[in-house]
Amino acid sequence: MLLEIKVNHFAIIDQLHLQFKDGLNILSGETGSGKSVLLKSLGLLMGGKASSDTIRTGAPQAIVEGAFDLKTRPDVKQRLVDLGIEVEDDQLVVRRIISSDEKSKVYLNGQLSTLQNLRDVVSPLIEVTGHAAPLIEITGQHDNRHLLSKTYHLDLLDQYVGTWEKRTQYEEKFSQRQHLLEEINRLESGAQNLHQRADYLEFQRKEISDLDLSPGEDLELETQVKRLKNATKLIQFVESAEEVLSNDEGSALERIRTILKKGTEIGHLDPAVPSKLQGLEEAQELINDSLFELQKYLKSIDADSSELERAESRLSDLRKIQKKFGPSVDDILKALLNIETELAELQQSEKLLETYKKQVSSIKTELLKMGEELHTKRLKGAKLLADSVNAELAELNMKGVIFQVRVEKTVDLTSTGISDVEYMSQTSPKDPARPLSKFASGGELSRILLSLKRIVGSSQYPRTYLFDEVDTGVSGPTAEKVGRKLKSIAKAQQVICVTHLPQVAAFGDAHFLIQKVQKKDRVQMEVIDLNHEARIDEIARLISGEKITKTSKAHAEELLEACQ
């Protein structure tokens, strides 16, 4: 509920501090007294657009501040916590500062915030948010946006029937399905390109894989080709080396063997001689080893034209793919790994697409079942809601009007189920039912809205209902019945009602008089919390006009006593 509002330098208000009460709060005043200004300041607390034109002349800025009691609104407290705003003593303090430079500041519990956050917390649009119940809800004779919204019709019906939890589960499933459909669309829109890409990658993968490359093979092939092309020179070198080292007369081995033999023969002359020849023995072994390796090498380079052709052909194939995938075999093998990785990802996309399609089909089956359950409950509840509203309307002297709730099954799944809900009305049993959006009378429309809030209100979060002349177009006994309805609503919700009817004003738990006063050289607005005697005078004014008579006062006192 709204505990209090403070307004400084806003329009014709210099300073205003108004403390509202539980129950039914009545606002009255003469035409042009400034009721609309007070409503605009309340609108700022709900996230209304601010304008520098509303700053009181001569003031640097305007300030509107309101305090809300959140004891019965855990949903709002949670929203504030989600926004990182601390909540102390179960209160929310909203502060709007309007500057001449058109820059408006918003504070929630002392923390600088945004206008959108304010709207989301205090007065979310039912048409958009569905589940979020506002702290203040304005209902005026010209503000029937809710009644003209089929979304609001469905919201009220679900609140009345008690299908919010089921609907929430449905909406979560529907959201999952929408996300999957978006992913499927994204994958399918690029499916042709993906297939072309996969074919191209598969061709490249085969081109590389068929070569069966080994790391460093390009260097080995280059060496092999060079060796085979120069085999004659290499063979001549090996043969000449063998002759010098072993085969020729006076070869290195032969001379070393001769020296070692003579050294052994004279070894008895000096034992030190054989030890001096140890290096030659090692040299002899090294030469023999080298000869063995040269002979082995000679066999490997034995000129073979077919081997040379094979090596040159493979090197030629390698050079071709080097132009595409890199200068070395290592680069080519790395490219092959990347190709295989991308191919695996593309194949995974195809599998993912199939998985998503199966999930969408499964979720659709669940949604249809849940939608049918919701639709059945809505159909049953629609009749009960219509009967209850018609009973209320009969008490408000609208016996000729028949209220209906049309519930039809939709062809496709929607975000709220498979139900199309719209409130209809008939001016008589013979007339066709028409959507409420085509209902002509503002007064009758206001009473239908009043009846709906009376019936459905108890199932919603408590809030502050602000009725701006909802009693317009009624009088006499009907006015009294409107007052009783407002009083009934105010038992569970706080109600602030702007009225010109004494029959409505008399039901108030608190009554505030709005008036303009002349102070020095300008007019300003003030609001007075009326005591019992002052209430009698104000109700008498509402009865008889500016001239209050003894009769009107007596009537006012009697009316006030009867309504309390």
* Alpha-carbon span 67 to 45, nearest angstrom: 9
Cβ 425 vs Cβ 402: under 8 Å: yes
Helix, strand, coil % (nearest 5) of the chain?
A: 55, 20, 25
Residue with tokens 């609907």: 167
Across residues 119-132, what is the average pLDDT?
57
Segment (H or E) for 99: strand 91-99
Cα dihedral 252→258→261→264 (10° resolution):
-80
* Alpha-carbon span 171 to 420, nearest angstrom: 15
Q: How confident is the model at residue 399 (pLDDT cuts 50, 70, 90)?
A: confident
Q: Residue 124's pLDDT is what? A: 63
Residue 156 has pLDDT above 90, yes or no: no
Delimit the CATH 3.40.50.300 region(s) of the chain.
Answer: 1-20+29-135+509-527
Across residues 144-161, what is the average pLDDT?
80
- One-letter amino acid identity for 396? L
* Alpha-carbon span 182 to 400, nearest angstrom: 50
* Alpha-carbon span 365 to 372, nearest angstrom: 11
Q: Residue 130's pLDDT is what? A: 41
Query: Judging by beta carbons within 10 Å of its beta carbon (0-12, 13-18, 19+), is residue 322 exposed, middle or buried?
Result: middle
Residue 306 has pLDDT above 70, yes or no: no
Cβ 201 vs Cβ 346: under 8 Å: yes
Q: Residue 538's pLDDT is what? A: 92
Segment (H or E) for 558: helix 550-563
Q: Residue 460's pLDDT is what? A: 55
Q: How confident is the model at residue 293 (pLDDT cuts 50, 70, 90)?
A: confident
DSSP E strands: which ranges in 427-532?
434-435, 464-468, 494-498, 510-519, 522-529
Alpha helix positions (H), 162-302: 164-189, 191-209, 217-229, 231-242, 252-265, 272-276, 278-300
Report pLDDT digits (tens) over 243-278: 777 776 767 777 788 788 888 778 777 778 778 888
Q: Residue 513's pLDDT is what? A: 93
Report pLDDT digits (tens) over 465-518: 888 766 666 677 788 888 888 898 888 888 999 888 999 999 999 999 998 888
Q: Which value, in Å, is the radius of gyration of the alpha carbons in the chain? A: 48
Q: Residue 273's pLDDT is what? A: 77
Q: How confident is the model at residue 146 (pLDDT cuts 50, 70, 90)?
A: low
For residue 148, give both structure tokens. 């003209």
Residue 383 has pLDDT above 50, yes or no: yes
Average pLDDT value for the chain: 82
b/e sequence 235-245, b meaning 16+ C-beta within 10 Å: eeebeeebeeb
Across residues 81-107, what is the average pLDDT?
90
- One-letter amino acid identity for 217? E
User: 36: which residues sit within 8 A by CB, 6+ positions away?
Assistant: none
* Alpha-carbon span 193 to 191, nearest angstrom: 5
Q: How confident is the model at residue 546 (pLDDT cuts 50, 70, 90)?
A: confident
Angle at 39 between CA 476 and CA 498, to 5 degrees: 15
User: Which CATH number describes the domain made up of 1-20+29-135+509-527?
Assistant: 3.40.50.300
Output 273 or 302, whichever has higher pLDDT: 273
Q: Residue 126's pLDDT is what? A: 38
Q: Residue 414's pLDDT is what? A: 93
Phi/psi of residue 264, each to 5°?
Answer: -65, -40
Report pLDDT digits (tens) over 497-506: 988 899 999 9
Output 535 or 444, whichever has higher pLDDT: 535
Output 218 or 207, whichever has higher pLDDT: 207
Q: Residue 128's pLDDT is what? A: 31
Output 84 or 213, whichever has higher pLDDT: 84
Output 312 or 284, whichever has higher pLDDT: 284
Q: How confident is the model at residue 183 (pLDDT cuts 50, 70, 90)?
A: confident
Q: What percent of the chain has pLDDT over 90?
A: 28
Residue 297 has pLDDT above 80, yes or no: no
For residue 222, give both structure tokens. 């280059």
Least confident of 143-152, 309-318, 377-386: 143-152
Least confident of 124-128, 286-290, 308-312, 482-486: 124-128
Q: Residue 125's pLDDT is what? A: 44
Residue 50 has pLDDT above 70, yes or no: yes
For residue 448, give both structure tokens. 């239908």
Beta strands 111-113 and 136-140: pairing type? unpaired
Residue with tokens 């995938």: 325
Within 13 A of 478's CA, how many CA atoms are on the CB side?
17
Q: How confident is the model at residue 142 (pLDDT cuts 50, 70, 90)?
A: very low
Q: Residue 111's pLDDT is what? A: 93
